[in-house]
Amino acid sequence: MITLNHYLALGGLLFCIGLFGALAKKNAIGVLMGIELMLNAVNINLVAFNHYLEPARVVGQVFAIFVIVVAAAEVAVGLALVLNIYRRRLDSNVDDLNWLRW
């Protein structure tokens, strides 16, 4: 029997993998993918909670769809930024992108 806890564990695992990716990857594309994983972990949680706690209403699913839309928009912007940076600098290593400094 798969319980809520299983889903939560999966979400947590996925979130940690995503977080690790976002914090540790050197490649900007990798960082973006990590963020996507984190968002998906959240989506799993939302759907799982909805299914187990409030099966009558679909609030969680709606939220998940919102997150997916926002994530899509964010990836679009993020990728555009990365592409632009790559074109200018021929580089997508985030360690070199420290223009925010000072």
* Interface ranges with other proteins (CB under 8 A): 19, 22-24, 31, 94-95, 97-102
The continuous run of DSSP H or E covering 16 comes out as helix 4-24
Closest approach, Cβ 62 to other proteins, in A, equals 25
Mapped onto helix, strand or coil, the DSSP state of residue 40 is helix
Nearest CB to other proteins, comparing residues 56 and 99: 99
Nearest CB to other proteins, comparing residues 23 and 56: 23
Angle at 35 between CA 4 and CA 88, to 5 degrees: 170
Nearest CB to other proteins, comparing residues 55 and 102: 102
Partners of 27 in the beta sheet? Answer: 93
Taking the C-alpha atoms of residue 87 and residue 57, their distance in angstroms, rounded to an integer, is 47
